Structure 1
Amino acid sequence: MAESLIVLEPQADKGLQQQIREKIIQGILSGGIPAGHRMPSSRRLAGQLGVARNTVVLAYQQLVDDGFLVTRERSGFYVTDSVQSHGVISPGESGTGVATSEPDRAFWRERCNPVHVSRRALRSRPANWLQYPFPFISNEYDPRLFPGAEWRECSRDIYAGREVAQWATLGANEDDRQLVEQICTRLLPRRGIYVDPGQVLVTSGLDQACYLLGELFMGTGRQLAMVRPACAGTEEIFLATGVNVNAVTQDSDGPELGTGLTDSDCWYLQPNAHNPTAVTTSLERRRQLLRLAGEQGAVIIENDCEHDFCYHGSPLPPLKSLAGGESVIYLYQLPRAVDPGMQLAVMVAPKPVVQRLRALRHTLRERVPAINQRLLAKFIAAGHLDAATFRITRQLRERWVALGEALMHHLPKLLVRRASCGTACWLELPDRVSAEQLQKQAEQQGLLLEVVREYNALRIGFSAIEADRIEAGVSILASLINGELSQDEETLATTGGRRLNAADITAEFPGTVLLGTNALGESYRIEVLEDGTLQGYARNDVDVDETDTGHWWLQGDMWVRQWRNWSYGRQAAFYVVRDAHQVKWFNEEGLLIDTGIVARE
């Protein structure tokens, strides 16, 4: 019984001993291996799994230490009877043991309140974006930039007995004192901001900080000034409070001092690198904004999240650090490249404001976990944050330069705006080109782009793509902008690329991974295996994974595939055309049915 539940994966990141241990635990907790069951001998199990006997012995011993197995003299290992006493319900004790496959949707639909979310705030990029050849997206990073070794070192330190006694006993609404100290003495002074610990609040990311500020300062009848186009997610958070959003225009120096600001109680500004337009507010315009805010008593919310990575000279000082910064509430979130998991944010405001925000945060029960706060405190104190920021900035600057040169060479007539900070640039398209249509066409070529439909523009990120791949991607983008979008429908007779015959398919397809987006907007990933099987993975817009298996074979020069469930389980035959990273499927009539991307190795 136990042997059939253990399937090892030699290519997995986990060791064989850990895999054996976890599989046995899963079987015990699910009821597949019942209490009192005698486990196979270590020699027998090792032989069946094809591993060293000592690997099984050590796994069994760990399970004994953890209380899942017990040993009986001259008899072997048995599943402990105490598992059932800990509340584990086996399938036989839960009635039929089978969950209802189709819930009563009408019942739940009648009892749920409607939820309204703007489609602009929904994620448009595929779930497997990292595997595309040219991921020109912002706010995502190449995983190789992540300082994993440094985080592991700090993780070990915070589990020392003395450390645990400190962070584990924090009150329900306290912030870690060591973290606040590091923020006040190391993080903020580098930005010219000097405050007391009582003026700092730690939040679970920028979104939570904006939500708290929206609840405190905004609401029905209040006026909020934001530069348009604005970050869709942030705007949605503020609009949920009932506030009226006044659009603010901007020029190359930043927000213009017009009616959008003068008619508003509160301003939301991004001086270093506005998202999405990449405009950097000049020093003189920053001073003008502070003077105007002081004259009319407006509150400024400053988002300084793009401060860290500066590629040309030194970043301009934040509004909070300048004369008149007393009316500024300062927001900063650690970059995802440094902190991809926790995404902690720091809020700096006068003490009366912080006290009210802390009380509101307590009401929501949304304090950042104490262990995360202490971990970040250790990371900053050890100098890892400074070292990682310096190293990542150097690598991102290479990409920043490469993108600028590629855009100037391949698209010299278009307006490109590139800030000296941040991870993206702004590209305005000609009137004859639709940004939304360009995005679809580009994805078929392996390019992932972010579009701002209302302004017919692109936001081109460079933090997730290597410098040596940037020019090739921009070259493809330029060819699409310069005329490919107006061509007639593609057919097998007119398509570019190399048409594959049976010998080509046999040589090139097995072992490849195909990426794409289906008609429902779901991103998919297909593994074409050498034994004639297919492994398919798809993710929909609510991040739910679906899987299926199938088979493929050849019929003359046509590639035939059949899934178990997808496409109604019917077989379909295609002519295959390979064009660099793109693969195209044409039906028997020569019409284009689908396109995909061959993932890089």
Structure 2
Amino acid sequence: MAEPLIVLDPQAQKSLQAQIREKVIQGIISGSIPPGHKMPSSRRMAEQLGVARNTVVLAYQQLVDDGFLLTRERSGFYVNEAIQQQGLISHTGSVEATAGSDDDRDFWRSHCNAVSVSRRALQPRPANWLQYPFPFVSNEYDPRLYPGAEWRECTRDIYSAREVAQWAPLGANEDDRQLLEQICTRLLPRRGIYVEPGQILLTSGLQQACYLLGQLLLGEKRSLGMVLPACAETEEIFRRTGARIEALPQDGDGPLIGEELQNSDCWFLQPNAHNPTAVTTTLERRRALLRAAAVRGAVIIENDCEHEFCYHGSPLPPLKSMSGGRSVIYLYQFPKIIDPGMQLTFIVGPKPVIQRLRALRYTLRERMPPINQRLLAKFVASGHLDAATFRITQQLRERWVALGEALLYYLPKLKVRRASCGTACWLQLPEAVDADQLQQRAEQEGLLVETVQGSNTLRIGFSSIEAEKIEAGVRLLAQLINGEVSATEETLETATGRRLSADDLRAEFPGAVLLGTNTLGESYRIELMPDGTMLGYSRNDVDVDETDTGRWWLEGDLWVRQWRNWSYGRKASFYVVAEEHRIKWFNSAGKLIDTAILVHE
């Protein structure tokens, strides 16, 4: 019996004793071990499984304590017959099942209302996405960064008798007081928000929070302004409230204050890092949005996502903390990279709003389980959240830098938007490349990227991929993209302008300045010194300067440059074509790499 039934895995995280117990229980429940069956002796079972006899004795004793086995004096261990009798239903004489027949499908089709859901909202990732070589997905769990030991410590603490007596009696619509206090005293003050526990409501996820707010604030006679494309799930939820969605235009500074904004009763904004376009709303645009909301009398729903992960500078203040923030309802969801199982979200608003939202939540009979609330409260109070956030931010910053360098090196012509926080960037594809087809081909090569509804773009995340793998993944993506670019693209042979020879380069480049914008949207300035050295300056999205030095020289008609740090510090050679004040760089294969403005000072 033991050989086919019980197979132990020495590499499993569970002990051998726990594995034996679970396998025996599975056999009893499934009927593989019949009621009243006499189990092998502990000595014989230990010999068959190759484990210590004491391991089997302890497993048997626990099965007896749990009621699965019975002991008979001087006879051994027997399966308890009452286990299989409990809860069994006899199917004698039952009608043959007809599930799957045409009549059955017609019956249920006639009784079900039509359901329309965006195909994108239902598009899942592969179940084993984490095992792909290059999982470029955003805001996802990474086992290398997950603070598992800290969560286990807090789990042990909350199961003490004293703790259980505190969280177990919570009513059906109550929130854990300790967690609310931690949010009020530890989390929100760092964002400049000071409220009381009565101004906070906990929900079981961002989707539930949006649903409750949509039910309370929107409806068929009201409109919601939001930047599109948006997160497919969020947009779908708001549409189901019956509200009219007004698509808000935006530029690199955030949502534009125009007619669409003024016509909306409520605005859904993500000023920190818009999902999916990675636009960070500037401080001045935030002030203008608050002034416009005051004039219009509009309510702002602010989703302040991923503000912890800031990679340079300091995060900008949320709208809720600024002057005029009284009309703002603030949403925050704990990042999945820290909290993959709970996905707890909290809403901050005036007490009358929170009271009504609490009543709506009660009608759904759905809230975050009290044990999870207390677990998160313990995690925050113990300082584990702060420590994990700091440690994870350091790792994500390394990946953020690596992704930026790889995109600059392998896809220098494409437009990339990369916020100074968050876990993804936005990549605009050439017109000749279809995003959906590219995603499918990339997945076949082991590379997972996310497409964006309504635009020919990719969202490239870095929360689940190691920094060391990013360059290889982006190189593979560049090969797929370049293989699809139209053959009509300008090449060295078809380029308009004057191809510069070695003599032309010696005459024009020493003392020249190159001005341009790289693929990350950063403006740069490169000074070419007569002695063959280079000085480079670039300015990123928060006006932080980055500098580097390098050298340049000629090899025949090729202009060669090598930076100390930029472009991985690798040597690169280019043919140069000049067209008035603009120059174009082509690689040795004749492919256009970049353009810049050439000036002399």
TM class, shorter-length = 0.7 to 0.9
Aligned to 2:87: 88
Matches within 5 A, 1:253-292: 253-292=253-292
Q: Verify the 8 A CA contact 2:141 2:338 in the aligned structure 1.
A: no
Q: Verify the 8 A CA contact 2:432 2:484 in the aligned structure 1.
A: no
More moved, 475-484 vs 389-398? 475-484
Is 1:482–2:479 an aligned residue pair?
no
**What is the deviation of 1:452?**
1.8
The amino acid of 1:115's aligned partner reads V
Aligned to 1:117: 117
Q: Verify the 8 A CA contact 2:28 2:84 in the aligned structure 1.
A: no
DSSP-derived class of the 2:71 partner? strand
Aligned partners of 2:248, 2:367: CA distance in 1, in Å?
Answer: 33
**What is the deviation of 1:99?**
9.1
**What is the deviation of 1:405?**
0.7
Aligned partners of 1:144, 1:307: CA distance in 2, in Å?
Answer: 21
DSSP-derived class of the 2:67 partner? coil
Aligned partners of 2:77, 2:118: CA distance in 1, in Å?
Answer: 57
Q: Verify the 8 A CA contact 2:2 2:48 in the aligned structure 1.
A: no
Aligned to 1:308: 308
**What is the deviation of 1:328?**
0.3
Aligned partners of 1:447, 1:167: CA distance in 2, in Å?
Answer: 44
Q: Verify the 8 A CA contact 2:69 2:80 in the aligned structure 1.
A: yes
Cα deviation 1:196-251 (Å, max 9, x = unaligned):
11000000010100000011111112100000111111000000011000000001
Aligned to 1:28: 28
Q: Verify the 8 A CA contact 1:2 1:27 in the aligned structure 2.
A: no
Is 1:389–2:385 an aligned residue pair?
no
Aligned partners of 2:470, 2:275: CA distance in 1, in Å?
Answer: 21
**What is the deviation of 1:327?**
0.3
Cα deviation 1:372-398 (Å, max 9, x = unaligned):
000000000000000000000000000
Cα deviation 1:111-146 (Å, max 9, x = unaligned):
333322110212342221111111111121321110
Aligned partners of 1:84, 1:453: CA distance in 2, in Å?
Answer: 52
Aligned partners of 1:221, 1:326: CA distance in 2, in Å?
Answer: 24
Is 1:69–2:69 an aligned residue pair?
yes
**What is the deviation of 1:153?**
0.2
Q: Verify the 8 A CA contact 2:136 2:464 in the aligned structure 1.
A: yes
Aligned partners of 1:306, 1:260: CA distance in 2, in Å?
Answer: 27
The amino acid of 1:342's aligned partner reads M
The amino acid of 1:421's aligned partner reads C
Aligned partners of 1:71, 1:114: CA distance in 2, in Å?
Answer: 58
Aligned partners of 1:36, 1:113: CA distance in 2, in Å?
Answer: 50
Aligned to 1:15: 15
Aligned to 1:434: 434
The amino acid of 2:322's aligned partner reads L
**What is the deviation of 1:162?**
0.7
Task: Provide the TM-score with structure 2 as the length reference.
Answer: 0.78
Aligned to 2:296: 296
DSSP-derived class of the 1:33 partner? coil
DSSP-derived class of the 1:301 partner? strand
Aligned partners of 1:191, 1:475: CA distance in 2, in Å?
Answer: 38
Aligned to 2:345: 345
Matches within 5 A, 1:194-233: 194-233=194-233
Aligned partners of 2:468, 2:436: CA distance in 1, in Å?
Answer: 27
**What is the deviation of 1:47?**
2.0
Aligned partners of 1:61, 1:114: CA distance in 2, in Å?
Answer: 55
Q: Verify the 8 A CA contact 1:290 1:324 in the aligned structure 2.
A: yes
Q: Verify the 8 A CA contact 2:291 2:324 in the aligned structure 1.
A: yes
Aligned partners of 1:96, 1:65: CA distance in 2, in Å?
Answer: 37
Q: Verify the 8 A CA contact 1:267 1:298 in the aligned structure 2.
A: yes
Q: Verify the 8 A CA contact 1:60 1:69 in the aligned structure 2.
A: yes
The amino acid of 1:224's aligned partner reads L
DSSP-derived class of the 2:320 partner? helix
Q: Verify the 8 A CA contact 1:399 1:466 in the aligned structure 2.
A: yes
Distance 1:98 1:189, change over 3 A: farther
Cα deviation 1:164-185 (Å, max 9, x = unaligned):
0010000110000000000100
Aligned partners of 1:130, 1:97: CA distance in 2, in Å?
Answer: 45
The amino acid of 1:130's aligned partner reads L
Aligned partners of 2:423, 2:93: CA distance in 1, in Å?
Answer: 54
DSSP-derived class of the 1:454 partner? coil
Q: Verify the 8 A CA contact 1:273 1:279 in the aligned structure 2.
A: yes
The amino acid of 1:89's aligned partner reads L
Distance 1:273 1:246, change over 3 A: same
DSSP-derived class of the 1:439 partner? helix
Cα deviation 1:520-551 (Å, max 9, x = unaligned):
xxxxxxxxxxxxxxxxxxxxxxxxxxxxxxxx
- The CA RMSD over aligned residues, in Å, is 1.9
Aligned residues: 484
Aligned partners of 1:103, 1:9: CA distance in 2, in Å?
Answer: 39
DSSP-derived class of the 2:454 partner? helix
Is 1:326–2:326 an aligned residue pair?
yes
Aligned partners of 1:94, 1:131: CA distance in 2, in Å?
Answer: 43
- Give % identity: 74
Task: Provide the TM-score with structure 1 as the length reference.
Answer: 0.78
Ranges in structure 2 where 5+ consecutive residues have no aligned partner = 488-601
Name the larger-Rg structure: 2
Aligned to 1:589: none
Cα deviation 1:247-297 (Å, max 9, x = unaligned):
000011100001111000000000000000000000010011001101111
Aligned partners of 2:124, 2:81: CA distance in 1, in Å?
Answer: 50
Q: Verify the 8 A CA contact 2:262 2:296 in the aligned structure 1.
A: yes
DSSP-derived class of the 2:144 partner? helix
Aligned to 1:190: 190
The amino acid of 2:126's aligned partner reads P
**What is the deviation of 1:102?**
4.7
Q: Verify the 8 A CA contact 1:180 1:197 in the aligned structure 2.
A: yes
The amino acid of 1:478's aligned partner reads A
Aligned to 2:597: none
